[in-house]
Amino acid sequence: MESCCDVGLILSVVLWCSVLATHHVWPISRTSAQLVPATFCFGDSLADPGNNNYINTLSKANYPFNGIDFAAGPTGRFTNGRTTVDIIGELLGFKYYLPPYMAPSTTGNVIRYGVNYASGAAGILDSSGYAFIGRIPLSQQLDQFAKTSAQISQLLGPEAGSNLIAQSIYSVNLGANDFLDNYYAPFSPIGNLSAGAVNNLLLTTYQQHLTNLYSMGARKIVVASVGPAGCTPYRLTTTQAVNGECDQKVNQQIQAFNTGLEALLDGLNANLPGVQFIYLNAYDTVYEIIQNPNAYGFTISDTACCGTGGTYKGLLPCTPLSSLCTDRTNYVFWDPYHTSDKANVILSNRFFYGDSSYARPMNIQQLALLNL
């Protein structure tokens, strides 16, 4: 989740400390059998493995202190270590983390095990994240997947390629930027709409995108709800929250959107033959950790480990000039918008193994083993 801030300062810091990582397919210490032939990810900065390194954008994370706990360093991930996509890939038994689509090395045999198209500042709507200049919205990510699918067909042959596409898992995780970096941002192109109209626009657009993904052969599709963006250190800072009190106006709109999203997925399951969408309850899962941090081994759930500005260090993103906490394992949030590696481990395990409180109508492990 990104947000508007002093883009001039961010740009100068990024230019000053640019240490662009050369992307490779980073290995995983695999401990289990690979459950599906490939995975493909669509999303925003919560899942971006470095695609934004290759575009003209203010939304980048390829510099310290980002990646401080990732073996390859600052690769462009907006966290100190792994994203939930990385960790779920481990749980699915893959040998390597999903490579970014935009990396020149993501070609040939590499793509047969999956690709990550996620882009920081991206949204369900093309306009979301406009303050960051460059980003790859969901519509363009789907266009990129179409090219990957055609390449897989050429690589494996039409029948084997089609089977791989049908048996793979697809994760889709967007929406936060449509609220924080569009509707609630200055000069928003949708700012004149009511909250209900915005939700309807997002859900209608999302349904079109997900139906398009189905039409391209995807059959096992994981869609995450939008998390409690009103509880991020950024939102606490900009609303001058007292005692870490979440912005309930934002959260209530997101909850209404999530209710509509789950109903949308139920409808797609009922009307599209041979498909299984599952809904990840990211909102309640993250909110539970924020409200009860001690139960999950955290001590601080309202302040960024790496950030700048105000009580919650939530005004500017993590850069080499930011204040860095002394013990990252105590913090739910890595920076003003994104969860830490430790929090991501908890979330990933809930989504992969958990009951219907976290994933429904089944969890990711069950989806991986499902025969469609």
CATH number at residue 79: 3.40.50.1110
What is the total count of domains within the chain?
1
Q: Is residue 58 part of a domain?
A: yes
Q: Is residue 12 part of a domain?
A: yes
Tokens representing residue 214 in the block: 């189905």
At residue 142's C-alpha, the angle toward residues 138 and 148, to 5°, is: 140
pLDDT of residue 19: 37
Amino acid at 115: V
pLDDT of residue 34: 96
Q: Is residue 180 part of a domain?
A: yes
Q: Is residue 243 part of a domain?
A: yes
Q: Is residue 1 part of a domain?
A: no
pLDDT of residue 32: 75
Q: Is residue 99 part of a domain?
A: yes
pLDDT of residue 36: 98
pLDDT of residue 106: 98
pLDDT of residue 28: 74
pLDDT of residue 98: 98
pLDDT in tens, 280-318: 999 999 999 999 999 999 999 999 999 999 999 999 999
The boundaries of the domain holding residue 90 are 7-369
Q: How many CB atoms lie within 10 A of CB 15?
A: 9
Q: Is residue 2 part of a domain?
A: no
Query: Global pTM?
Result: 0.93
Report, as ranges of residue numbers, the positions in the chain whose pLDDT lies below 70. 1-26, 29-31
Place of tokens 């009511």: 194
Which residues does the annotation mark as catalytic?
45, 335, 338
